[in-house]
Amino acid sequence: MKPALVVGNWKMHGTRSEAVKLATGVLEASRRNLSVEVVLAPPFTALAAVSAALRCGAVRLAAQNLHWETEGAFTGEISVSMLRDLDCRYVIVGHSERRRLFGESDAIVAKKVGAALSAGLRPILCVGETLGERRRGRTNGVIARQLRVALKGLSKSAIEKLTFAYEPVWAIGTGKNATPEQIAAVHRFVRELLRRRAGLSARACRILYGGSVRPDNAAELAAQPEVDGVLVGGASLKVGAFASIVRSFGATAV
Ligand code: 13P
């Protein structure tokens, strides 16, 4: 059984000293929840400092993005070897903010997934529909397309190394989380796609939910058998709130 996975995506928040303070607080609070895998994704500028702060604990490090080339003339970009050098274990790929605000297509997401896997980094692949797409009944179609392109050419053993995050765009930063029923339906759909695409058993990959996860709704999410963990934005910026979410998942094993 894999432990539940709780990831804090700090997005573009925090100086180095703020990041170290937050990471140290999370590390301290997580010591009591050894049944949960806790991962922090600070901004690039704080990765080195947070990596050092986490050295002696079980909390792991993720990057929020990567470039798919190994090196070269790509001003402003960060390669997988740079992330490995900082002891990153995971990398978030295809976050809806990257897709919407920075023009990341499904094809770019696929290149990033491939680059991460080839360097031994574990991608957390984000998928999710907009409100308009949901209203038009396009949720499954959108997620199927995002997954089909992102997983193109990957072997079963490569796909097994992925974690998936269902993040409906309309739930991110809005205070309006998806209902447990909506989440369970999409997670089941993703598992079915993985079974058909790669013959994966239902529990081969963890599927997280993300979008307005807070201390007051985390327990309900943790109680859903389909939810293997959460990807937390705003509520991961406060030690107390994030620790409370981690605790909610402490009693569940996936
Ligand atoms: P919020 O938790 O702030 O809604 O953000 C979710 C998210 O985008 C995590 O990656």
Residues 6+ apart with CB under 8 A from 137: none
Tokens of 212: 């307005």
Residues of the chain with pLDDT > 90: what percent? Answer: 93
* Ligand 1 atom at minimum distance from 236 CA: 2
Tokens of 197: 């695409």
To 10 degrees, the CA torsion angle through 69, 83, 157, 249? Answer: -140
Mutate to test the pocket of ligand 1, among 167, 177, 183 (most ligand atoms within 8 A of CB): 167
**Ligand 1 centroid to residue 73 C-alpha, Å:** 31
- Name the residue with the closest Cα to ligand 1, atom 9: 233
pLDDT of residue 34: 75
> Which band of pLDDT confidence, cut at 50, 70 and 90, is reported for residue 226?
very high
Residue 62: CA atoms inside 13 Å, Cβ hemisphere, count? Answer: 25
Least confident piece of the model among 27-36, 105-114, 208-217: 27-36
CA distance 1 to 21: 32
Contact in structure between 232 and 213 (CB atoms under 8 Å): yes
- Name the residue with the closest Cα to ligand 1, atom 1: 233
**Ligand 1 centroid to residue 210 C-alpha, Å:** 6
**Ligand 1 centroid to residue 232 C-alpha, Å:** 5
Q: What is the mean pLDDT of residues 56-65?
A: 95
- Using CB atoms within 10 Å of the CB of residue 81, give its burial: 0 to 12 exposed, 13 to 18 middle, 19+ buried: exposed
The Cα-based distances of 240 to 60, 89, 140, 236, 250 in angstroms read: 18, 24, 35, 9, 15
**Ligand 1 centroid to residue 216 C-alpha, Å:** 15
37, 133, 167, 226: the active-site residue: 167
pLDDT at 119 over 90: yes
- Residue with the larger pLDDT of the pair 2 and 117: 117
> Which band of pLDDT confidence, cut at 50, 70 and 90, is reported for residue 251?
low
Closest CA relative to residue 60, chosen from 98, 127, 3: 3
Query: Could you confirm whether 95 is annotated as catalytic?
Result: yes
- List the domain boundaries for the chain: 4-253
Amino acid at 81: S
191: enclosing H helix or E strand: helix 180-198
Query: Could you confirm whether 167 is annotated as catalytic?
Result: yes
* Ligand 1 atom at minimum distance from 235 CA: 2
Tokens of 139: 């949720």
pLDDT of residue 254: 43
Closest CA relative to residue 6, chosen from 114, 85, 124, 162: 124
pLDDT at 252 over 60: no
CA distance 169 to 37: 25
pLDDT of residue 253: 44
Tokens of 66: 């990567």
| CATH class, range 4-253 | alpha beta
pLDDT (tens digit per residue) in 151-176: 999 999 999 999 999 999 999 999 99
Tokens of 12: 């573009």
pLDDT (tens digit per residue) in 64-103: 999 999 999 999 999 999 999 999 999 999 999 999 999 9
pTM of the predicted protein model: 0.97
* Ligand 1: lining residues by beta carbon, under 6 Å: 9, 95, 167, 172-173, 210-213, 231-235
Average per-residue pLDDT in the chain?
A: 96
- Name the residue with the closest Cα to ligand 1, atom 5: 233
**Ligand 1 centroid to residue 66 C-alpha, Å:** 19
Q: What is the mean pLDDT of residues 46-50?
A: 98
Mutate to test the pocket of ligand 1, among 130, 231, 242 (most ligand atoms within 8 A of CB): 231
pLDDT of residue 32: 76
Tokens of 135: 């209203």
CA distance 72 to 225: 44
Q: What is the CA radius of gyration of the chain?
A: 17
pLDDT at 52 over 50: yes
pLDDT of residue 48: 98
Contact in structure between 60 and 89 (CB atoms under 8 Å): yes
Tokens of 205: 């990959």
